Chain A
Amino acid sequence: MALVDYYAIEEELHEDERLVRDNVRRFVEAKVMPIIARHYQDGTFPEDLVPQFAELGLLGANLEGYGCAGMGDVAYGLAMQELERGDSGVRSFCSVQGSLCMYPIHAFGSEAQKERYLPGMAEGKIIGCFGLTEPDFGSNPTGMLTKAERLPGGGFRINGTKRWITNGNLAHVAIIWAKLDGRVHGFLVPTETKGFTAQKIDDKWSLRASVTSELILEDVEVDEDALLPGVAGMRGPLSCLSQARYGICWGAIGAAIGCYETAVSYAKDRVQFSKPIAGYQLVQAKFAHMLTEITKAQCLTLRLGRLKESGKYRPQQISLAKRNNVHHALEIARMARDVLGGNGIMYEYPIGRHMMNLETVYTYEGTHDIHTLILGQDITGIPAFD
Chain B
Amino acid sequence: MKILVPVKRVADPDNANKVKVSGDGTKVTSDGLEWKMNPFDEWSLEAALRLTENGSSKDRVGEVVLVSIGPKDAVQTIRQGLAMGAERGILVESDDDSLDSHVVAQVIAAIAAEEKPDVIFFGKQSADGDSNVAGTKLAEMLDWPLVNYAMAISTDDEGKSFTVKRELDVGQQTLKVQSPCVFTSSDRILQPESVKNGVTPADFAYPESEGGRYASLKGIMKAKKKPVDEKSLADLGVEAKRVNEYVKFDLPPARSGSTTFVESVEELVQKLHSDAKVL
The interface of chain A, by Cβ under 8 A from chain B, is 1-2, 15-16, 18-20, 22-23, 26-27, 30, 55-58, 61, 69-71, 75, 79, 271
Contact = CB atoms under 8 A, between A and B. Distances in A.
Given A23-B214, A26-B214, A30-B210, A16 B36 contact: no
B218 A19 contact: no
B223 A16 contact: yes
Contact of B218 (A1, A57, A271): A57
A267 B46 CA distance: 39
B12 A1 contact: yes
Contacts of B76: 15, 18-19
Contacts of B12: 1
A347 B213 CA distance: 30
Contact of A69 (B75, B79, B218, B258): B218
Given A1-B36, A30-B210, A70-B221, A19 B215 contact: yes
Nearest to A76: B217
Given A69-B221, A71-B221, 13 more contacts: A1-B36, A19-B76, A19-B79, A19-B80, A19-B83, A22-B36, A23-B214, A23-B220, A55-B214, A69-B218, A69-B220, A79-B217, A271-B258
B217 A15 contact: no
Contacts of A30: 210
Given A1-B36, A2-B34, A30-B210, A23 B83 contact: yes
Interface in B192-237: 210-211, 214-221, 223-224
A168 B207 CA distance: 30
Contacts of A70: 221
B19 to A, nearest CB: 15
A23 B216 CA distance: 8
A103 to B, nearest CB: 16
Contacts of A19: 76, 79-80, 83, 215, 220, 223
Nearest to B212: A26
Contacts of B223: 16, 19
Contact of A61 (B36, B217, B219, B258): B217
B220 A16 contact: yes
Given A1-B12, A16-B224, A27 B217 contact: no
Nearest to B83: A19
Contacts of A15: 75-76, 79, 224
**7 closest Cβ pairs, A-B complex:** A57-B217, A69-B217, A57-B216, A69-B218, A23-B215, A57-B218, A19-B220
Interface string B58-101: 00000000000000000110011001000000000000000000
A57 B218 CA distance: 6
Contacts of A2: 34
A265 to B, nearest CB: 12
Contact of B216 (A1, A56, A271): A56
Nearest to A122: B218
Contacts of B258: 271
Contacts of A18: 76
